[in-house]
Structure 1
Amino acid sequence: MIYLDNAATTKPSKEALKSFNQVSETLFFNTASIHKGGRDAARLLEAARGQILNELGLGTHHLIFTSGATESNNIILRGMIERKLQFGKTVLVSELEHPSVVNVLEHYKDKINLQFIKTTPQGVIDLDDLKEKLNDECILVSVMALNNIIGSIQPIEEIGQILQSYKKVYFHVDATQAVGKVTLDYKNVDALTLSAHKFYGIKGAGALIVNDMNVIDPLLLGGGHEKDKRSGTVNLPAIVGMAKALRISNENLTQKNDRLEQFNNKVRTHFNDYNKMKIQDAQSPYFINLSFVGAKGEIVVNALSELGIYVSTTSACASKSNELNETLLAIGNKNDVIEGSIRISFSQNTTEEEVDALIKGLDTVYKQLGDILHEV
C-alpha cells in the first residue's frame, strides 16, 4: 500500500505513539484531580502547552486544547460573531476555506454580511480586494494559512499588517495544513487553529491559540477544564503526542521540504506533455492537484486504489459532496477539469520508490481511460 492522502490524515509517528502509550500507562490521571497523580499530569499538560506555543513562535499567546481544528474553528468563529455583532456585521473570508469555517459562517448568513475575498489564479488571496472590502463595519477576517486542495501558501504576515489599521477586526487563521509543513509568522494573528493528526500526531487532539483568553466563549460547559474555556476531561496522552509530533515535524524542515520538492517536480515533469491531463501550478511541495480531463476524479481514485495507491479527490471532509470544489473554481478552472481532479499529498516519510510507483500507476490509469479523456 502506498499512502499519498496525507492532507486528509497522516500516519502517527512512532515517537508520538510511544509518548501516547507511556502517558496512558503512567500518567493516566485526570489533570483536574488534586492528588499527586493529578498534579503530575497537570504539570505535563502545561509543559506540552508551552512546547507547542514555542514551536509556533507564539510564546506570549494562550492555548486551549480541543479535539481538533473543526471544534477550534467553531469555538472561535461562533463566539467572535456573537460577541462582535454589536460593533458591525461584515465578515470577510477567503474563497479557499475548509467546510469547518465556511459552514459556520453560513450558519450566520441572516445576521452577518458575509463577503468572499477574491483569489488570484495562483490560489492566493487578492490583497487589493481585501483592502477594498475592509471598512469600519468589518469585525472578522478568516483566511487559511495553507490551502488543503492545491497547497497554496497565503500571505498571513502581510494580512496581519494590513489589519493593524482596523482595530475592530479579529483575524482568524486556520493553520491545519500549514503546521509542520511551512514556517509562517503568526504574531499579528488573533486566533490560530490546528489538528495533531495533520502532522503525524494522534487523532482527537487539536488546539485553539489566541492572543487574548478573554474573548473565548466556550461551546462546552461543565467542569471548568482548560481555564473554563473547554470543559471535558483533557486528552493528555494525545496532547503529549501532539507536542512530540510537532517538534519532530519541524526538525530539519528545510531539508525535508527540499527533498519533497524534488519528488513533486519529478511527477510534474513526467506528465508535463500529457495533453489530456491538467496539473495545477506548483505550490507547497506536499501537494499535487491534477485532473484527468473528461473523467471523474472518483473513478481515478478508485482505479489507483485497486493498484494499492491511495489518493483523494478533494478534502476528505467534502469528498462525498456533489458540489464542485470551491478552490479549483476560485482559480478559474473549467468544470471538466474540476470534476476530473485528484489530490496527491506527500508526507515527510514519502520515498522515491513510492513516487515512482505513483507515476507508473497514473500512467496505467491514463491508458485505461483512453477515449474517455479529452484535451484540456
Structure 2
Amino acid sequence: MVYMDNAATTKPYKSVMETYMNTGDDYYFNTASIHTKGREAARLLEAARAQVKGLIGLEEYDCIFTSGATESNNLAIQGIIEKKKRSGTTILVSEIEHPSIMNTLEAMKEEVRVKYIRTTAGGMIDLAHLEELIDEDVIFVTIMAVNNIIGSVQPIQEVARLLEGHPKAHFHVDATQAVGKIQMDYRGVDSISFSSHKFHGIKGIGALLSRDGGKLSPIIYGGGHEYGKRSGTVNLPGAVAMARAMRISGEAMKENTARLSRYNEQVQDKVRNLKSIHIHPGGVPHILNISFIGAQGEVVVNALGKRGIMVSTTSACASKLRKLNETLSAIGSSKEKIEGSIRISFGNMTAQAEVDQLCDALGAVYEEIKEVLE
C-alpha cells in the first residue's frame, strides 16, 4: 500500500506513539487533582504547553489544548464573537476555508454578517478586496495559512499588517496544513489553530494559541480546565506526544521540504504532457491537486486504489458531500476540472519508491480511462 493522503491524516512517528503510551502509563493522573501525582502530571502538561508555544515561536501566547483544529476553530470563532458582537457584527472570511470554519459561521448567520474575501486564480486571497471590506464594524477576520485542497500559502504577515489599524478585528488563522510542515511567521495573529495528527502526531489532540485567552468565551462548560476555556480532563499523553511530534517535524523540516519538493515536481513532470490532465496552482510541496478532465475524481481515486495507491478527491472532512469543491470553484476552475480533481499529498515518511509507484499508476490509470477524457 502506498499512502498519498497525508493532508487528511499522517502516520504517527513510532517514537511519538511510544511517548504517548509511556506518558499514559506513568502519568495517568488527572492534571486537575491536587495530590502529589496530580501536581506532577500538571507540571508535565505545562512543560508540553511551553514547548508547543516555543516551537511555533509564540511563547507569550496562551495555549489551550483541544481535541483538534475543528474544536479550536469553533472555540476561536464562537468564543471571540460572543465577546465582541456588542461592538460589531461583520466577519470577514476567505472563500477557501475548511468546513470547520465555514459551517461554524453558517450556524451563526443570524448573529453575524459574513463577507467573503475574493480569491485570485492562483489560490491566494485578494488583499485589495480585503482592504475594501474592512470597516469599523469588522470584529473577526479568519484566513487559513495553507489551503488544504491545493496547498496555496496565504499572505498572513501582509494581512496582519493590514489589520494593525483595526484593533477591534480579531485575526484568526487555521494553521492545520502549515504547522510542522513549513516555516511561517505568526506574529500579529491573534489566534492559531492546528491538529497533531497532521504532522505525524496522534489523533484527538490539537491546540488553540491565543494572544489573549482571557478574551475567549468558553463553548464547553464543566470543571474549568484549560484556564476555564475548555473544560474536561486534559489529554496529557496526547499533549506530550504532540509536542514531541512538533519537535521531530521541525528538526527535519528543511530536509523534508527539499525532498517533498522533488517528489511534487516528479509527479507534475509525469502528467504535464498528458492530454486532458490539468495541474492546479499550488504552493506547499506536500500537496498537489490535478484533474482528469472528463472523468470523475472518485473514478480516478478508485482506479488508483485498486493499484494500492491511496489519494483523495477533496478534503477528507468534505469528500462525501455531493457538491463542487469551494476552493476549486473560487479559483475559477471549470465544472469538469473540479469533478475530475484528485488531491495527492505527501508526508515525511513518503519514500522515493512510493512516488515512482504513484507515477507508474497515474500513467496506467490514464491509459485505462483516456477514452472518456476530453
Residue 139 of structure 2 is aligned to residue 139 of structure 1: yes
Provide the residue aligned with 1:21 in structure 2. Answer: 21
Q: Distance in 2 between matches of 1:244 and 1:252?
A: 13
Q: Distance in 1 between matches of 2:241 and 2:120?
A: 37
Deviation at 1:12, TM superposition (A): 0.7
Deviation at 1:252, TM superposition (A): 3.2
Q: What is the CA deviation profile of residues 48-98 of structure 1, one whole-angstrom value per residue up to 9, with x for unaligned ones?
A: 000000000000000000000111111110122222121112110001100
Q: Distance in 1 between matches of 2:79 and 2:50?
A: 25
- The correspondence of residues 1-376 of structure 1 with structure 2, limited to 5 A, is 1-374=1-374
Deviation at 1:260, TM superposition (A): 0.8
Moved segments of 4+, more than 2 Å = none
**Number of residue pairs matched?**
374
Deviation at 1:329, TM superposition (A): 0.6
Deviation at 1:319, TM superposition (A): 0.2
Deviation at 1:210, TM superposition (A): 0.3
Q: Distance in 2 between matches of 1:190 and 1:283?
A: 24
Q: Distance in 2 between matches of 1:166 and 1:103?
A: 26
Q: Distance in 2 between matches of 1:252 and 1:324?
A: 36
Question: What SS is found at the alignment partner of 2:115?
Answer: strand
Deviation at 1:327, TM superposition (A): 0.5
1:86 maps to a residue whose letter is R
Deviation at 1:370, TM superposition (A): 2.3
Deviation at 1:28, TM superposition (A): 0.8
Deviation at 1:325, TM superposition (A): 0.4
Is this contact kept in 1: 2:194–2:207, CA < 8 A? yes
Q: What is the CA deviation profile of residues 24-47 of structure 1, one whole-angstrom value per residue up to 9, with x for unaligned ones?
A: 111111111111111111110000
RMSD: 0.8
Is this contact kept in 1: 2:62–2:212, CA < 8 A? yes
Question: What SS is found at the alignment partner of 2:101?
Answer: helix
Deviation at 1:282, TM superposition (A): 3.7
Q: Percent identity?
A: 51
1:248 maps to a residue whose letter is I
Question: What SS is found at the alignment partner of 1:318?
Answer: coil
Deviation at 1:349, TM superposition (A): 1.4
Deviation at 1:343, TM superposition (A): 0.2
Taking structure 1 as the reference length, what is the TM-score of the superposition? 0.98
2:131 maps to a residue whose letter is K
1:3 maps to a residue whose letter is Y
Q: Distance in 2 between matches of 1:173 and 1:261?
A: 24
Question: What SS is found at the alignment partner of 2:349?
Answer: coil
Question: What SS is found at the alignment partner of 2:103?
Answer: helix
- Range 320-329 or range 222-231, more displaced: 222-231
Deviation at 1:271, TM superposition (A): 1.1
- Range 34-43 or range 328-337, more displaced: 34-43
Q: Distance in 2 between matches of 1:241 and 1:112?
A: 38
1:190 maps to a residue whose letter is D
Q: Distance in 2 between matches of 1:79 and 1:226?
A: 14
Q: Distance in 1 between matches of 2:163 and 2:316?
A: 32
- Which consecutive residues of structure 2, in runs of 5 or more, have no partner in the other structure? none
- Which consecutive residues of structure 1, in runs of 5 or more, have no partner in the other structure? none
Q: Distance in 2 between matches of 1:327 and 1:220?
A: 31
Deviation at 1:206, TM superposition (A): 0.6
Q: Distance in 1 between matches of 2:296 and 2:336?
A: 8
Q: Distance in 1 between matches of 2:167 and 2:81?
A: 15
Q: Distance in 2 between matches of 1:364 and 1:39?
A: 59
